[in-house]
Structure 1
Amino acid sequence: MKRLVDVVLSLGALVLLSPLLLAVALAVALESGFPVLFKQVRVGQGGREFGIYKFRSMVKNAAAIGPYHTASDDPRITKVGRFIRRTSLDELPQLLNVLKGEMSLVGPRPDVPAQRALYTDSDWTTRCSVRPGITGLAQAELRSAATPEQRLELDLRYAREHSLLMDFCIMAKTVGRLTGKGSN
């Protein structure tokens, strides 16, 4: 049932948001050229690697210039990139990852392979037991303010307790946070 919800909602979102997707793509292209999408290796369900899609928010070849994580004042982030990151518009191409079955709308945010070293074997297995999501419990509860420890705790809680009802609550809370109607 979760997969059906993912497909129906992500297809609907792609159709409804297509003008916005085109506008963001155009803004990225006008500021810093092509490509407008960025693809990065992430770890999914069962520990399988896949390529996650995002609108490019950094200068070209940013990975060769600095680490996989960024600070808010990272000089590699473009002006358009700051806006699309702040509003989470950079994440919208991940709807394609959902359609491909690599991600879900809700689940722990997918890690880069290097982050495997931050987990115990047991925690990694638990975390990889579910599809990663565009949003998750950590994002709904704390947005980007979560410490690595809080994020791990919430990701593991989701992996252990997930349900369709929990997914709908997380999606509603995420929309509330993004529209300013949720608590900070």
Structure 2
Amino acid sequence: MKDALKRAVDLTVALIALLVAAPLLAAVSVAVLLTMGRPVLFRQARIGRCGRQFTILKFRSMAPGAGGFSPTDDAMRLTPLGRWLRDTSLDELPSLWNIVRGDMSLVGPRPLPTSYRFRYTPEQFRRHDVRPGLTGLAQVNGRNELDWDEKFAYDLRYVDDRGILLDLRILARTAVAVLRRQGISAPGSVTAHEFRGPTAAEQPVPAAAGSGAR
């Protein structure tokens, strides 16, 4: 019942937000198109609930490059518009569609790249017991300024203590964090540092149910 209520709230809020933000979405799309060209949206495979894979949608913030995790390369590719979009968290607006689709929730552990799948310990993998979120407990307690152990500790605390009241508190604190532009970048990086966990042979993760792409 609790999960059904959360899903109903997610769907209602995301649909209303998409309607209200439609002019802003259109304006940002045009700005990205004019300054960076196509594609307007950044798409990347992420790990969702129960290990299922989905494609996250964001506004593009970087010029084309080799990809991967390279602080120097990322800093060079991040455009002025892209930096502003990240600073204001407007790059996340297209992810509202992921919430409508059921890939994500308003609140939950942030979805991470599929390349991390076999780097988690079994305990860390529990963060996928719930839908990933647009914001989460880690995001209002330091965001990218936290190290990975701290992020996962907050993620697991959310999984264990989740509820409507906690979600409301996180959403309220998210608004404050966005206005203050807190924790946007990790020290020495324009984004977040790569998570380097144990290999699959050292720390096997639980089998992922329905891990095919959606």
> TM-score, normalized by length of structure 2?
0.78
Name the residue aligned to 1:11: 15
**Which residue identity does 1:74 align to in structure 2?**
A
The structure with the largest helix share of the pair is 1
Task: Tell me by how many angstroms 1:68 deviates.
Answer: 4.4
Q: What 5-or-longer segments of structure 2 have no aligned partner? A: 183-214
Q: 4+ residue runs of structure 1 moved beyond 3 angstroms?
A: 68-73
Task: Tell me by how many angstroms 1:142 deviates.
Answer: 1.1
The C-alpha deviation readout for 1:98-137, integer Å capped at 9, x for no partner, is 000000010000011122233212321x111000001000
Q: What 5-or-longer segments of structure 1 have no aligned partner? A: none
What does 1:58-69 align with in structure 2 at a 5 Å threshold?
58-60=62-64, 62=65, 65-68=66-69
Q: How many residues align?
A: 180
C-alpha spacing 1:104/1:77, structure 2 compared with 1 (3 Å): same
C-alpha separation in 1, matches of 2:38 and 2:173? 34
**Contact conserved, 2:88 with 2:181, CA < 8 A, in 1?**
no
C-alpha separation in 2, matches of 1:138 and 1:179? 17
C-alpha spacing 1:69/1:134, structure 2 compared with 1 (3 Å): farther
Q: Which moved more, 1:30-39 or 1:45-54?
A: 30-39
Task: Tell me by how many angstroms 1:146 deviates.
Answer: 1.5
C-alpha spacing 1:67/1:136, structure 2 compared with 1 (3 Å): same
Name the residue aligned to 2:170: 170
**Which residue identity does 1:55 align to in structure 2?**
F
Name the residue aligned to 1:131: 131
Question: Which of 19, 44, 52 is residue 56 of structure 2 equivalent to?
Answer: 52
What does 1:72-83 align with in structure 2 at a 5 Å threshold?
74-83=75-84
C-alpha separation in 2, matches of 1:28 and 1:112? 23
C-alpha spacing 1:118/1:10, structure 2 compared with 1 (3 Å): same
C-alpha separation in 1, matches of 2:163 and 2:78? 36
C-alpha separation in 1, matches of 2:167 and 2:70? 27
Name the residue aligned to 1:151: 151
Could you tell me the percent identity over the aligned residues? 45
C-alpha separation in 1, matches of 2:181 and 2:165? 20
RMSD: 2.2
What does 1:71-150 align with in structure 2 at a 5 Å threshold?
74-124=75-125, 126-150=126-150
- The 3-state SS of whatever aligns with 1:139 is coil
